[in-house]
Structure 1
């Protein structure tokens, strides 16, 4: 199903949001297996958390950028495999499955190992050239130059703006003592929010 979705993405128009209605109407994909596609595309960073296609998505749609985009997406989705073997994208099926088994602790015959390998191989099948090991972020400038401002910012006629955001999760202790919370938030304000 993932391979079919990736093949369809290349030919279909770029959506505002990649979601269930886009998959059903434009990509003609339905059923339970199709529901797994958007979360997986988020792991590859082809789409953002809100379903908006990213620069990597646009790069994947181009003939010249597809191989590098597939490599970058593969690294995003399977970062632990690449930590174990930086050339895992060139490894044979048995080696990739062995690495998955090593990481997960599952049996090689487990259906999850088969499904993980299937997803890995679906993206890997688009890597046709000798791609660089550099992350896609180092080549973003050339992508920004080739895209209209409306595709980069989502708003027509706006200049390109790059912003960073961080998400910090704080697990607060279970207490009724307000002084503990005041101390935590004072420390956050003094050390992080300046």
Structure 2
């Protein structure tokens, strides 16, 4: 199941936590000690590490991963988080493609169905609140937007998935690389005269053969 079981008991400091990550030097390993250096000293704050693992910002040992380093680039922090959320909660987005727009109560109901009674009501509430708070901080407006474009390959139309920023370049390349040919077709109509003389028709077909065929 692509649904993280990590959650926060309180989300009131979530924005402050992410802001602190952006402004801090990445640690060699994300530990409780590093959390305290960021001024998150409550026992509840330790749950942030589990959330970072679920989002694949750090690995199972707390070592920062590629996504973590992309996140601390302030020009794309919220977009990277949105990407991580869609990855971690893919089962939820499979139920509702706009799960990030649901309110916490709606998220809780979806989670109740997906976990099939395996979680208590309190845990479902914390999970839903965590997801909702993450989505509020993230920016989903530019995450993995893709569109289908029609290209010609081996004389057969094929539909390819292209991400934004690639589609226009791909289409330009295709248009430049393809040869444009023009074919002209003629439609000749012959109106036969009304006559019973077969030699008239023979003469017409003989002239067609000599001049057109």
With the shorter chain as reference, the TM-score category is 0.5 to 0.7
Q: Is the 8 A contact 1:74 1:124 kept in 2?
A: yes
1:90 and 2:101 are equivalent in the alignment: yes
Q: Going by fraction, where is helix more abundant, 1 or 2?
A: 1
Cα offset for 1:121?
Answer: 1.9
CA distance 1:133–1:94, shift in 2 (3 Å): farther
Indicate the structure whose relative CO is greater, using CA pairs within 8 Å and at least 6 residues apart.
2
1:73 and 2:84 are equivalent in the alignment: yes
SS at 1:13 equivalent? coil
Counterpart of 2:31 in structure 1 is 19
CA RMSD of aligned residues (A): 2.8
Question: What is the number of residues matched between the two proteins?
Answer: 136
Q: Is the 8 A contact 1:67 1:126 kept in 2?
A: yes
Q: Is the 8 A contact 2:108 2:128 kept in 1?
A: yes
Counterpart of 1:8 in structure 2 is 20
Larger radius of gyration: 2
Unmatched segments (≥5 aa) in structure 1: 140-194
Cα offset for 1:116?
Answer: 0.4
Cα offset for 1:78?
Answer: 1.8
1:112 and 2:123 are equivalent in the alignment: yes
In structure 2, C-alpha distance between the alignment counterparts of 1:106 and 1:131, rounded to whole Å? 34
Q: Is the 8 A contact 2:82 2:140 kept in 1?
A: no
Unmatched segments (≥5 aa) in structure 2: 1-9, 147-161, 164-213
Q: Is the 8 A contact 2:92 2:110 kept in 1?
A: yes
Counterpart of 1:184 in structure 2 is none
SS at 2:137 equivalent? coil
In structure 1, C-alpha distance between the alignment counterparts of 2:63 and 2:26, rounded to whole Å? 10
SS at 1:119 equivalent? helix
CA distance 1:98–1:108, shift in 2 (3 Å): farther
Q: Going by fraction, where is strand more abundant, 1 or 2?
A: 2
TM-score scaled by length of structure 2: 0.55
